């Protein structure tokens, strides 16, 4: 069978590959501490589980509208008002099969062959793969600790060409858990808007970010760029990875194209998941989300302290999500070697920087602290023994 050039060009997602190796070790009776996959160990909030059971009462659960259940689109729009102080019309909300499908739909709606899309390095790998599948060329802009491993307006300006059509930012980022400061993101969006380019801001970890000194949550990019495309999901904040439900908020002009594409690509996102997800936006479930955000911050402190003690520096401490990106340069191993040996010799699954770009690919490793405190303590202890044996 002839496999398309497009499919052949897609790289594997190494986090998943290391996850598979970890599963194989476990199948052979080893106990592995899995800090490689960005999946919260808490499931959906209890009220959402109850709602799901209720929905499974034998009713037909037919397709919903391609853009999503109207009640869910309204609930999401209200959430922007309540949580982020931005007015979003429900007609601009598109409910999707995870943020992943929102990224696919947005790329399908926006990208033509030959377009250039600016993305920071390191960054979430699937974004690159998705826009390249639609024929775009990705301008991967190296970032450093000085800009929190994120794009800034100066680097976006410097990488701009006459073919640049869009900029993609995830804030907080996967793999670093670091955010673009609000003023900087506003400047990036302004620059791109003035040049007629689209801005896609992936806010999947926004609600898992630290609050400011006055206890205020970070703002959605929509508060300073109402025409940005903003992507989000039920996967992380609500702990619903396997439910495959997410959304994006798009400018009015993009809605018809998104609807046509959604009708053809997916028909709709999972109907039972959509019905149950209505219970995410109750005060009870939002309180669960907030407690988890605080819990993640505590786990982060434990991990940062542990990595510091065992000699694995974290150049920029995260301010959200559940990742730290640490530097293995001083160990004399590449990040790939470090991850392979940490898995085989210490039974700890991590993700090498190669997943996230080229610039820090060999020197940095991502650790996901979306695991229980006990697992994190065990993982750090094992890495400590591994580091001691290395030196
Ligand atoms: C930055 C970012 N965007 C999008 C996704 C996709 O999330 P999902 O499709 O589960 O909503 C992930 C998953 O890890 C991610 O880290």
Task: Give me the domains of the chain, ranges plus CATH numbers.
Answer: 5-43+285-390 (3.90.1150.10), 46-281 (3.40.640.10)
* pLDDT recorded at residue 14: 78
* pLDDT recorded at residue 270: 97
Cβ-contact 331, 323 below 8 angstroms: no
* pLDDT recorded at residue 21: 87
Closest CA to 95 of 227, 217, 273: 273
Q: Report the alpha-carbon distance of residue 41 to residue 33 in Å, rounded.
A: 13
Best residue among 125, 233, 239, 274 to mutate for probing ligand 1, ranked by most atoms within 8 Å of CB: 233
Ligand 1 touching residue 202 (CB < 6 A): yes
* pLDDT recorded at residue 16: 77
Q: How far is ligand 1, taken at its centre, from the CA of residue 204, in Å?
A: 7
Best residue among 44, 129, 235 to mutate for probing ligand 1, ranked by most atoms within 8 Å of CB: 235
Q: How far is ligand 1, taken at its centre, from the CA of residue 270, in Å?
A: 17
* pLDDT recorded at residue 344: 92
Closest CA to 357 of 8, 6, 14: 14
Among protein residues, the one whose CA lies closest to atom 4 of ligand 1? 99
Q: What are the start-end ranges of the E strands in 178-322?
A: 198-202, 229-233, 246-249
Q: How far is ligand 1, taken at its centre, from the CA of residue 206, in Å?
A: 12
Cα 18 to the center of its chain, rounded Å: 18
* pLDDT recorded at residue 142: 97
Strand duo 198-202 + 351-352: pairing: unpaired
Q: What are the start-end ranges of the E strands in the chain?
A: 33-34, 93-96, 116-121, 137-142, 164-170, 198-202, 229-233, 246-249, 323-327, 348-349, 351-352, 364-368
Q: Report the alpha-carbon distance of residue 351 to residue 12 in Å, rounded.
A: 13
Q: Report the alpha-carbon distance of residue 235 to residue 313 in Å, rounded.
A: 29
Best residue among 19, 204, 209 to mutate for probing ligand 1, ranked by most atoms within 8 Å of CB: 204
Q: How far is ligand 1, taken at its centre, from the CA of residue 368, in Å?
A: 13
Segments of the chain scoring below 50 in pLDDT: none
* pLDDT recorded at residue 316: 96
* pLDDT recorded at residue 327: 97
Neighbour order of strands in the sheet with 364-368: 323-327, 364-368, 351-352
């Amino acid at each position: 069978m002839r496999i398309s050039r497009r499919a052949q060009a897609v790289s594997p997602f190494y986090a998943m590959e290391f996850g598979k190796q970890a599963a194989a070790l476990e199948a052979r009776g080893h106990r592995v501490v899995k800090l490689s996959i960005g999946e919260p160990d808490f499931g959906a909030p209890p009220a959402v589980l109850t709602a799901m059971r209720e929905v499974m009462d034998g009713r037909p659960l037919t397709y919903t509208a391609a853009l999503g259940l109207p009640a869910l689109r309204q609930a999401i729009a209200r959430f922007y008002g309540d949580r982020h102080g931005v007015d979003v019309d429900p007609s601009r909300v598109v409910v999707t099969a995870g943020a992943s499908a929102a990224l696919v739909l947005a790329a399908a709606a926006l990208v033509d062959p030959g377009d250039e899309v600016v993305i920071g390095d390191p960054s979430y790998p699937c974004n690159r793969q998705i826009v390249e599948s639609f024929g775009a060329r990705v301008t991967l802009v190296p970032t450093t600790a000085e800009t929190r491993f994120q794009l800034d307006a100066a680097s976006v300006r410097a990488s701009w060409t006459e073919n640049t059509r869009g900029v993609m930012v995830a804030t907080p980022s996967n793999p670093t858990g670091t955010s673009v400061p609000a003023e900087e993101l506003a400047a990036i969006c302004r620059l791109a808007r003035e040049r007629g380019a689209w801005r896609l801001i992936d806010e999947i970890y926004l609600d898992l970010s630290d609050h400011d000194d006055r206890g205020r949550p970070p703002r959605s990019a929509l508060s300073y760029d109402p025409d940005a495309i903003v992507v989000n999901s039920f996967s992380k904040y609500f702990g619903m990875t396997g439910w495959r439900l997410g959304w994006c908020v798009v400018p009015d002009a993009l809605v018809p194209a998104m609807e046509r594409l959604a009708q053809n690509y997916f028909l709709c996102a999972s109907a039972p998941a959509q019905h149950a997800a209505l219970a995410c936006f109750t005060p009870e479930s939002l309180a669960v989300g907030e407690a988890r955000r605080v819990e993640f911050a505590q786990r982060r402190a434990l991990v940062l302290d542990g990595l510091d003690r065992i000699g694995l520096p974290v150049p920029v401490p995260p301010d959200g999500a559940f990742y730290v990106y640490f530097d293995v340069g001083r160990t004399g191993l590449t990040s790939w070697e470090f991850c392979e040996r940490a898995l085989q010799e210490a039974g700890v699954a991590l993700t090498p920087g190669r997943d996230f770009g080229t610039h820090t690919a060999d020197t940095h490793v991502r650790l996901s602290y979306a695991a229980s405190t006990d697992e994190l303590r065990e993982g750090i202890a094992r890495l400590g023994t591994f580091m001691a044996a290395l030196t």
